[in-house]
Amino acid sequence: MRTLKLVLAIVILFCFSCKEKQNTISNQSKIPVLETSKESSLAAVWIDSETGHKIEKLIDRKGNNSSFYFHNNPFLPTKNKKGWLMVFYGSTPNGSQLFTIDLKTKNIVQITNKFGNKSGEIVGDKTRKVYYRMNDSIFATHIDTHKTTFIFKFPTDKMGSITTLNADETMLGGVISSKEEQEIMKKYPEKKDFFDRIYDAKLERTLITIDVANGSLKELFSEKAWLNHEQFSPTDPKLLMYCHEGPWHKVDRIWNVNIDTKNKEIIHKRTVEREIAGHEFFSPDGKTIWFDLQIPRGETFYLAGKNLKNGAEKRYALQRDEWSIHYNIAPNLKSFAGDGGNDGQVAHAKDGRWIYHFIPKGDKMVSTKLVNMKNHNYKLEPNVHFSPDGKLIIFRANFEGNSQIYAVEIDKVKQ
């Protein structure tokens, strides 16, 4: 009798497994295989006909929807800790507002409502608050309760901004810039027109912190240089990374400063003419700063990482077509993503318009093409992020003519 029951159990289990496999195959077969374009975006879910990877239009709401800049973390656990939220910007009649999407249920919630455009892209996962600037003031809104708190107002004679929150979520980091700089921006709104002009003007900028609890501003130091891209370490609350912005082949760009001691450290010093290093970002464990390295500019390409403890620099070589405007690192620190680039970018790649997944092998990167981006206008930078579980790469694109947010599965669909 016992043997008979065991045989029946095995048969039932086998039949159930077959049914589940058939359902999976059936569900996958319903996903259209399309060229990634406006038509596929309107289909919401599709398999890229060039790569075989499944892509989903992540946000189902009208208007423009924009994911965060590549080094600004948009994720935090759901309130019940059973899933993940992603914070993003969405256009509304009241200006750009901040929203969350539950990555599992796809439920979208608007978390800010006050009239006016927001800027900052700063999420505090410990305090469960999002920090942003509106006009001359800094606010924080609680992601669950939507309660908004005023933090700081810049004086009328100072142009200030914030871009980062430190590891213990007590300090915001940013800069104060000159009104002359703002006038250049207004007169020449296109990056190609203002970029060299601001660098050549050598106007003073001041690196600052703002205490979240009491709203006090602290000036760290000033330079007649374009201080930019401030990023606090994800693990060391006193360590602030910043850059000297400008034509990359003219600047030693990447620096760290201790906000208590004011001690500064250069992260990568150029060694040959026209060498460049930039689009820097911390690894999640805070041990490494990664950056795009070209020796010289537009000729030899690497993704390089500086170990902050021992000073060692690791370089992974990339082919010209694999070069990406931005790179990012997986939560498990074992692989990378890149958002490609068109032939007008620094690499002048002939076939570089792809979302890439990279796995280091020796001193090189082995790449996999995930999304064909030939129907995307790279004036909007895709800014890739790994999902918290490491299974998706999330990016923004304008296949429909405006900004929308997409997710591509790293593992290829099996059909």
pLDDT at 28: 52
**Cis-peptide into 32, omega within 30 deg:** no
Q: Is 37 exposed, middle or buried (0-12, 13-18, 19+ CB in 10 A)?
A: middle
pLDDT at 402: 97
SS3 category, 299: coil
In the chain, how long is the greatest CA-to-CA distance? 90
* Beta-bridge partner residues of 150: 139
Residues 43, 57: Cα–Cα separation, whole Å: 8
Q: What angle do the packed helices 179-187 and 191-201 form, to 10 degrees?
A: 150
pLDDT at 414: 79
Dihedral, 7, 8, 13, 14 alpha carbons, nearest 10: 70
For residue 183, what are the CA distances in angstroms to 179, 192, 243?
6, 16, 22
Q: Rounded to an integer, what is the distance from CA 201 to the centroid of its chain?
A: 29
pTM value? 0.91
Task: Identify whether the C-beta of residue 316 lies closer than 8 Å to the C-beta of residue 364.
Answer: yes
Residues 84, 364: Cα–Cα separation, whole Å: 33
DSSP string, 2-49: HHHHHHHHHHHHHHHHHHHHHHHHHHHHTS-EE-SSHHHHHHSEEEET
45: number of Cβ within 10 Å:
14
pLDDT at 26: 39
For residue 87, what are the CA distances in angstroms to 44, 125, 235?
20, 11, 21
pLDDT at 415: 63
* Beta-bridge partner residues of 84: 77
Task: Identify whether the C-beta of residue 254 lies closer than 8 Å to the C-beta of residue 240.
Answer: no
Q: What is the pLDDT along the chain (415 residues), one digit of tens a residue?
A: 555 454 444 444 444 444 444 444 335 558 999 999 999 999 999 999 999 999 999 999 999 999 999 999 999 999 999 999 999 999 999 999 999 999 999 999 999 999 999 999 999 999 999 999 999 999 999 999 999 999 999 998 889 999 999 999 999 999 999 999 999 999 999 999 999 999 999 999 999 999 999 999 999 999 999 999 999 999 999 999 999 999 999 999 999 999 999 999 999 999 999 999 999 999 999 999 999 999 999 999 999 999 999 999 999 999 999 999 999 999 999 999 999 999 999 999 999 999 999 999 999 999 999 999 999 999 999 999 999 999 999 999 999 999 999 999 999 987 6
pLDDT at 21: 41
Structure tokens at 67: 């994911």
Residues 116, 19: Cα–Cα separation, whole Å: 53
Q: For the chain, what's the residue count?
A: 415
